[in-house]
Structure 1
Amino acid sequence: MEGKVQPPIDLVPLSGLGLGQEAMVLLLPAGPHYSTWRLPGILMEPVPDKTVSQLPQDWPSSLGEARAIQITVQGKPSDIQNALHIVLRMMEDASALRDAAGMRRSLGLAVQLTPTALAELHKHRGQRLKALCRNCPSRLRASLAFQRLTGTTDVAMSNCILCQSVGLPEALHAALPQVGDLLRAVVAGPVTQPDVMPAVVGDYSLWVWLKSLDGGAGQLLVYCSRLNELFQDISQLQTVQRGPNGEMPHPGFFEALGVQRDDHRDMFRRWFRERF
């Protein structure tokens, strides 16, 4: 499947996980910087040669390095989403996202799918995924890769491998939470519908910041458009002033964003309190 589609995500239960925990298996472009990662709930392993052979030709790689590493992210769903944001940001920092001509570079990502999810995607030819991706802010390409069992043409019986995606980072940030909901809804049945989340607008770091304030639930994303009108990127949050009684942030910050709910204000206050 080719075209402007978002990378599907399927949280696959693994043996040994605690109650309420899930896990996601990812492939990332290899690089020496990964050896310095020490993140809870993230396990790094070598990638089997059979899996590496199915990566697309334009999969990002460096001369003299293995093409990919396998990462298993496990924990509660909100913990997994937060870990994914951290992983993507660390990938961006390591690669600097600039080529020799000064153009922004693409990131690669691959997600393991179950046979059930793959069968549903194949049956509907990815139409629901394509519909979700129409508002993606930058180029993103995804493809499904699977190996059929000998003597069968049934996709549901296939030994599915990966969903592969190559694109700019803000598109990946936009795709991760939405498609995770979609894949779970597809497998559960047609009655369940995924929540619609705002696409990334403006600087994607502000979108990621809002997403992290409530543990990945995304309740604060309704303020993203207004936030991008007030700030160019997340570094400008340090310009927010204190209130008349020394409180952080200034009450005018909430008025400018249109934040009326007390629980939403408390999430913002907690972040500013911890950093300023």
Structure 2
Amino acid sequence: MNHGEQLTALIAEDDFAQKQLLIRFAEEHHLIVLDTVSSGSKLVDKYVELQPDLILTDINLDDISGLKACRLIKAKGYDPCIIVVTALTDMKYAEESFEIDSLSLMLKPVTSERFKKSLEKAKKHLMQKRKQSPAAGSNDERLIRCKQKICDLDGRNIQRELYVKEEKIVYISKDYKQISIKWTDSNSVQTIHTSSTLKELNAATSPLLFQCNKSQLVNVRYIQKICADLITPGNYEILLHGVPESLTLSRSCFGHFEQARKLMAEEKGIHDAVLR
């Protein structure tokens, strides 16, 4: 996160007046609201779709609670930045909010000053989190930064930075001018559209996520099988775990695959040695 960068948020609140108050405070403190929801199930779905920097959630929502929704999001493999907003003063809710690693618990009626303090805490947390994700460290810990154009609550176009764990990326594909990232949240495969170029993403990722042809990068971790391409002699077909489509490994990129396979074997050998 760059200094002065605006954060994006998803607000989960079933009371209209409280929702409008949170939106007003967000605008006052330059927080971009991507959307609002009133149910816990919608909170889960919208978080997966939009991947905001921050969740602002009430506890009592339609169908399932905000706390349960956040647990479901974390169970999918996400690590959301959470601020809980509630009128409930029972200590068990405070304990539950800390169990989901919420950064703050704001009691209603929320004031602009209290909102500002919680937001500053969230900014510091996100900055520290991104600093701790090394460019040169374990490839499983690497966060890949990509640019994305998205609309806010008022339909205005914004440019933001999105971070995806390299280990979760299955493949990256260029179709005309659009770049898509296919990644897994352990339960399903999701798609992110990015305005970053294939060249930028190739430079940001480790050799484990290699270029298999002129328009695609593939993560060697998800390769199930490689066989001869029956259409183009000399090329290969890549079958992947978790996705029905196959990719092409061109002759000119076969060396990238060999490098990625060797690196994965070396890392697996080190990991196995540690376990013994």
| TM-score, normalized by the shorter chain, greater than 0.5 | no
Higher helix share: 1
Higher strand share: 2
Which structure carries more relative contact order (alpha carbon 8 Å, separation 6+)?
Answer: 1
TM-score, normalised on structure 2? 0.30
